[in-house]
Chains A and B, each alone.
Chain A
Amino acid sequence: MTDVTHAVTQSTLEAFAREFLDNLGATIREDGSRWHVRLPSHADVGFTDVHEFDIALDSEQEGLEDAVHVLTPESGFTQQLLDEASETAPVGQLALTEAVTDGIYQYPSWTRESDVDVVDATFSPYYDRMAVCVFVRIDIETVSEYQTQFLEAVTVDVESTEQLPNVTELLVDEFFTPGSDWPADPAEDVDDESGVSSEKLNTAITTGQKAVVEGVRDEISEVRQSASRAADSEFEEYRQLQEQQINELQDEIGSLSTRLQKLSTEVDEPESPQQRVKALEKRKELKTEKAELEGELEETLQEKSRGYAQQQREIDRRHAIKVSTEPKAFTIVLYERGEITLELATGGRSTAVRAPYTVGVGVTDDVQCENCQKQLSGENPIRVVSGRICCQSCR
């Protein structure tokens, strides 16, 4: 999975807005930091109901009329534009063909780390595969930190549900980078017949959703650490509060005891019968009060002896992290699998080696040394000795 959040800079925004308006068929007349925009009559957008308006690229412009839309990273218009565009076409498709990769192949590590040069490469497609590149929003929420959001992309083969990280990176770089050109007609080679069932689509997307959570594991862990610290300090506040209350209750009970002792003297040695009755009444009242406080103290002390476990559970529960994923868009990707033939040259000699290859992915399977059958790798790169292919490990 790939982090695909993209910073909102002025130049990115301008490129985005230009493309948005182009797609609508608008004409833009530029006049310094103002765009005079005219929309075609059929265009229907949420941010305006007029077909001619101005966009200012700088909110500091003097005499900015109310009707002018300000396009800056913080502006409301930008938010509206992005909100509207983010929901227009969540489903798309394209074909990853050699044309897209422009004949540039991803060589395996066992040639990159080798002394031999790849002088030529040809790809023979055998069959098409289908994958889904899904863009997933991840929200991490906890009560101590309002909300953190990410957008991750992951590509999943619809048959095998295998993840294809190289494809994701290729797609994001080549097709979905703001302000960049992209290969023309990427969906041209997608056969209308090549549909995918809702069930498989559903499975692939769900697989992607689960996978992206792994991709933000570090971030989740960081939020979890800070949420746990917040829960800890809330619990500590609670514990201290209880400690203070225990002391206060003990003080109050102590003072009641002293008062009760004094009253006992009044009861035992009254100056008058009335005083005795009064003292008895007061003693009853204070005894009840003392019993209540003792009950309260007992309860708190019991809680304390249990380490305030219930309160701690409650606080921890409230501070628990909620991670939710929402697929925002996906692209159906048709990609070719086949075989690549690599022409290798060293010391004036050349020879060829073949390997299973997928456009956008690279060499897909392990390749063994023809000579010793050891697996080729970056650590065990290929060699050509007297026109014969062997590997680093071959003697």
Chain B
Amino acid sequence: MEEQDLVDIEVTHDDPDNLVDSYSSGVADFPFHRQTVVANRLLAGQPDTELRSLAGVDTEQVKLLEHQVDAAHRALFDMDGKALLADEVGLGKTIEVGMILKEMHYRETDGSVLILTPAQLAKQWQGELREKFGLEFVCNYDDEFRGFNAHDRIIASIDTAKSERHRPTVLAREWDVLVMDEAHYVKNEETDRYDLIEQLTYDYAFFLTATPIQNELTDLYNIVTLLRPGLFGSRDTFHQYFIDSSQDTLVNQNELQRRLGQVMIRNRREDTDIDFTDRIIETRTFEPSIGEKDLYDAVTEYVRGAYSQDSGQKLVLMLLQKEVVSSPAALEGTIRKQLDEQHELTHRDELETILDKIDAIESVTKQDRLFDIVEEARNHVEMGRVIVFTQFRATQRQVLDGLDEQGYTTHAFHGGHSSQEKEEIVDQFREEGGVLVSTDAMNEGRNLQFCNIMVNYDLPWNPMKVEQRIGRIHRIGQKREVYVFNMGLKGTIEEYVLDRLYHKIDLFQQTVGELSTILTRMEDSGQSFEDEIFERLVNADSEVDLENDFDSMAIDLGQQQELSQKVKAFNNGVFESFDLGTDDD
């Protein structure tokens, strides 16, 4: 090749200042210096295609599985840092990317990294990369986020990145690494999302999806073309060559497989040795006391009335509705705050009545029934370990007080603790056993497989949060059956959410990660799960109406679920005959 046809070479020399400073602060004894030089010689003598950072992964935090290590290795070294990671759901694609990023960090090839995810997963990514791999990223939802040109490691929702405000800065930068979660978001070449990714400049890219094909094979073409433009030729060529349009079936499969093998890795559940233990769900609903029923009705009536007058108060009203089924203590805090903050409150009387009704409650039914579960655990499970989840700090305090009074060993976990404190709390829970009462601040990275009993003291209206709670203990590495207890008060919104919605979509038995594909579909069409529930609750004219409304929502959900199962089955069908394993280089 002629000199003018060769690519350019850019040479940079790191400043030796640090080393020179080391000299100023003293020279080491020769044996130690020799050891350092020899160690550097040996490090340099390792093969270049080895995941060197593996030793630095904290195996307490993450158990790396063979297929994950293999995928990370192939993505980096066989696919030259451009790969579509298309493992089936629940096999740990995030872990694979974590390993890739850790290795790139170790080798200092990750000057700037942009991770694009669906909005609801951004914080989860941040937590996982921090806890499991020690990698710090700024998320666009963090207070400290100052824009896409202000940080070198960013996790952002793809919609934020493509927004008019941020798009110019996202595109102005040359990113070293781009990661895109749920890559099927960019399956359609006519969307702004696709356009953004197509225009981004980056050296290495890792796209993740369990279902590269959402509707048709063109989806696969579009995603792969973003990673490797030209690999499949033009869209028409792809269609002519790989799709029998009369039958709408695949042709030239071997060639398609050969080309896909250059860029895509797909592990299937049955090819791995992951063995998920059983999950046993027990939903316990209790008759509320007269006082509790009275309080619930008063709050619901108040919420309906206030919302019909001023829908701007939606968030606080939704909060009240959630709190009333969590605990009187949680409710009391918000009511008092309302009364204190707004002197000219139109509903002062109603709120004061609610306070009176809270005062009238002598014993909290859920709390009493919680003791039964905890006691069973104490008698049957190692060190009586139980995790109780609640959404509210006030409920958490009340539950903790109750358990303390009964003489149980307790631990509190909430968002107000520092990372160090959180670590210590989990350690103490592991060592001392007893009951850990946690808010939903318990993030993805926490490793709690040593416990196998979980109680949903109250239920988030966002099923992802429920799944995340369960995922804390029912995950790779859990060796025992997992028991999930759901607590709910009869005749309340909780019962509807539990019975009509969560059980209908079989929420409590969803494989880890599967739910996001259902919800992503739903939320992609502009619906928020929480809003849907709230709107139904406040707009129902009668109990029958409410039941019907929830039934229709369940049907919608069921349809989304069916669709996502169809997509999954379709992908499995397409890739079934494909060997995209390690030996097809």
Residues of A within 8 A of B (CB): 4-8, 12-13, 16, 19-20, 23, 73-94, 135, 137, 139, 141-151, 175-178, 182, 185-187, 198, 201-202, 205-206, 209-210, 213, 220, 224-225, 227-229, 231-232, 234, 237-238, 240-241, 244-245, 248, 316-332
| Measured CA separation A325–B10 after assembly (Å) | 11
Complex contacts, A73 vs chain B, CB 8 Å = 46
Q: List 16 A-B contacts (CB under 8 A).
A: A4-B41, A16-B42, A83-B43, A91-B22, A91-B23, A92-B32, A146-B48, A146-B76, A185-B30, A238-B229, A323-B9, A323-B11, A324-B11, A326-B14, A327-B14, A331-B33
Q: Which single member of B33, B82, B203 contacts A91 (CB below 8 Å)? A: B33
From B233-241, B405-413, B441-449, B454-462, give the one contacting chain A. Answer: B233-241
| Measured CA separation A20–B23 after assembly (Å) | 22
B40 touches A328 (CB 8 A): yes
Interface pairs A-B: 7 shortest CB-CB? A92-B33, A237-B230, A89-B28, A151-B44, A79-B55, A76-B55, A85-B39
Known interface pairs A146-B80, A201-B23; 5 further A-B residue pairs with C-beta atoms within 8 A, sorted by A's residue number = A79-B56, A146-B77, A228-B5, A319-B7, A320-B7
Complex contacts, B24 vs chain A, CB 8 Å = 198
Least CB distance from A235 to B in Å reads 9
| Measured CA separation A232–B2 after assembly (Å) | 13
A91 touches B80 (CB 8 A): no
Least CB distance from A228 to B in Å reads 5
The chain B residue sitting closest to A245, CB to CB, is B234
| Measured CA separation A340–B231 after assembly (Å) | 67
Complex contacts, A232 vs chain B, CB 8 Å = 5
Q: Count chain B residues whose beta carbon lies closer than 8 angstroms to a beta carbon of A.
A: 62
B7 touches A224 (CB 8 A): yes
| Measured CA separation A82–B40 after assembly (Å) | 7
- In B32-70, which residues have CB < 8 Å from any A CB? 32-46, 48-50, 52, 54-56
A12 touches B42 (CB 8 A): yes
The chain B residue sitting closest to A47, CB to CB, is B55
| Measured CA separation A178–B82 after assembly (Å) | 37
- Assess A178 versus B8: contact at CB under 8 Å? Given A89-B33, A90-B22, A244-B233: no
Residue B544 lies at the interface, judged by CB distance under 8 Å to chain A: no
Residue B127 lies at the interface, judged by CB distance under 8 Å to chain A: no
A144 touches B80 (CB 8 A): yes
Question: A-facing mask of B4-21, CB < 8 A → 1, else 0?
Answer: 011111111110110110
Complex contacts, A220 vs chain B, CB 8 Å = 9
B20 touches A205 (CB 8 A): yes
- Assess A6 versus B229: contact at CB under 8 Å? Given A76-B54, A89-B32, A201-B20: no
B13 touches A210 (CB 8 A): yes
| Measured CA separation A213–B49 after assembly (Å) | 22
Complex contacts, A89 vs chain B, CB 8 Å = 28-29, 32-33, 35-36
Least CB distance from A107 to B in Å reads 29
A151 touches B40 (CB 8 A): yes
| Measured CA separation A4–B1 after assembly (Å) | 30
Residue B429 lies at the interface, judged by CB distance under 8 Å to chain A: no
B7 touches A86 (CB 8 A): no
A6 touches B42 (CB 8 A): yes
| Measured CA separation A224–B2 after assembly (Å) | 12
A224 touches B44 (CB 8 A): no
Complex contacts, B9 vs chain A, CB 8 Å = 220, 224, 320-321, 323
Residue B173 lies at the interface, judged by CB distance under 8 Å to chain A: no
Complex contacts, B38 vs chain A, CB 8 Å = 6, 16, 19, 85, 176-178
Complex contacts, B50 vs chain A, CB 8 Å = 74
Q: Which single member of A137, A141, A177, A227 contacts B40 (CB below 8 Å)? A: A137
| Measured CA separation A219–B32 after assembly (Å) | 32
| Measured CA separation A231–B7 after assembly (Å) | 8
| Measured CA separation A177–B34 after assembly (Å) | 9
Most buried by A among B10, B39, B76, B233: B39
A244 touches B237 (CB 8 A): yes
The chain B residue sitting closest to A184, CB to CB, is B30
| Measured CA separation A150–B6 after assembly (Å) | 22
B55 touches A77 (CB 8 A): yes
Residue B416 lies at the interface, judged by CB distance under 8 Å to chain A: no
Complex contacts, B7 vs chain A, CB 8 Å = 142, 224, 227-228, 231, 316, 319-321
Residue B81 lies at the interface, judged by CB distance under 8 Å to chain A: yes
| Measured CA separation A93–B37 after assembly (Å) | 12
B36 touches A206 (CB 8 A): no
- Assess A149 versus B42: contact at CB under 8 Å? Given A144-B80, A201-B20, A324-B11: no
| Measured CA separation A378–B337 after assembly (Å) | 97
B55 touches A83 (CB 8 A): yes
- Assess A5 versus B36: contact at CB under 8 Å? Given A144-B80, A145-B80, A213-B11: no
Residues of B within 8 A of A (CB): 1, 5-14, 16-17, 19-20, 22-24, 27-46, 48-50, 52, 54-56, 76-77, 80-82, 107-109, 203-204, 229-231, 233-234, 236-237
Complex contacts, B109 vs chain A, CB 8 Å = 139, 141, 146-147
Least CB distance from A342 to B in Å reads 32
A241 touches B80 (CB 8 A): no
Least CB distance from A65 to B in Å reads 14
A240 touches B37 (CB 8 A): no
| Measured CA separation A395–B511 after assembly (Å) | 96
B36 touches A88 (CB 8 A): yes
Least CB distance from A85 to B in Å reads 4
- Assess A240 versus B39: contact at CB under 8 Å? Given A198-B20, A205-B16, A322-B12: no
Complex contacts, B22 vs chain A, CB 8 Å = 90-91
Complex contacts, A237 vs chain B, CB 8 Å = 229-231
Complex contacts, A321 vs chain B, CB 8 Å = 7-10
Q: Which single member of B16, B34, B44, B77 contacts A176 (CB below 8 Å)? A: B34
| Measured CA separation A87–B52 after assembly (Å) | 16
The chain A residue sitting closest to B76, CB to CB, is A146
B35 touches A19 (CB 8 A): yes
Complex contacts, B54 vs chain A, CB 8 Å = 76, 79
Least CB distance from B33 to A in Å reads 3
Least CB distance from A31 to B in Å reads 25
Complex contacts, B48 vs chain A, CB 8 Å = 146-149
A90 touches B19 (CB 8 A): yes
Complex contacts, A186 vs chain B, CB 8 Å = 30
Least CB distance from B39 to A in Å reads 4
- Assess A88 versus B32: contact at CB under 8 Å? Given A146-B77, A227-B7, A325-B13: yes
A209 touches B55 (CB 8 A): no
A209 touches B39 (CB 8 A): no
Least CB distance from B184 to A in Å reads 23
Least CB distance from B226 to A in Å reads 13
Complex contacts, A77 vs chain B, CB 8 Å = 55
Complex contacts, B55 vs chain A, CB 8 Å = 75-80, 83
B230 touches A238 (CB 8 A): yes
B80 touches A202 (CB 8 A): no
| Measured CA separation A157–B30 after assembly (Å) | 20
B19 touches A91 (CB 8 A): yes
A82 touches B43 (CB 8 A): yes
Complex contacts, A238 vs chain B, CB 8 Å = 229-230
- Assess A316 versus B44: contact at CB under 8 Å? Given A86-B39, A198-B20, A329-B33: no
The chain A residue sitting closest to B30, CB to CB, is A187
Q: Which single member of A7, A143, A147 contacts B45 (CB below 8 Å)? A: A7
Complex contacts, B10 vs chain A, CB 8 Å = 320-323
Complex contacts, A244 vs chain B, CB 8 Å = 233-234, 236-237
Complex contacts, A76 vs chain B, CB 8 Å = 54-55
A151 touches B41 (CB 8 A): yes
Complex contacts, B37 vs chain A, CB 8 Å = 92, 135, 175-176, 329, 331
Complex contacts, B27 vs chain A, CB 8 Å = 91-93, 187, 332
Complex contacts, A228 vs chain B, CB 8 Å = 1, 5-7
- Assess A92 versus B234: contact at CB under 8 Å? Given A201-B20, A228-B5, A322-B10: no
| Measured CA separation A206–B12 after assembly (Å) | 11
Complex contacts, A324 vs chain B, CB 8 Å = 11-14
| Measured CA separation A6–B46 after assembly (Å) | 8
B42 touches A143 (CB 8 A): no
The chain B residue sitting closest to A152, CB to CB, is B44
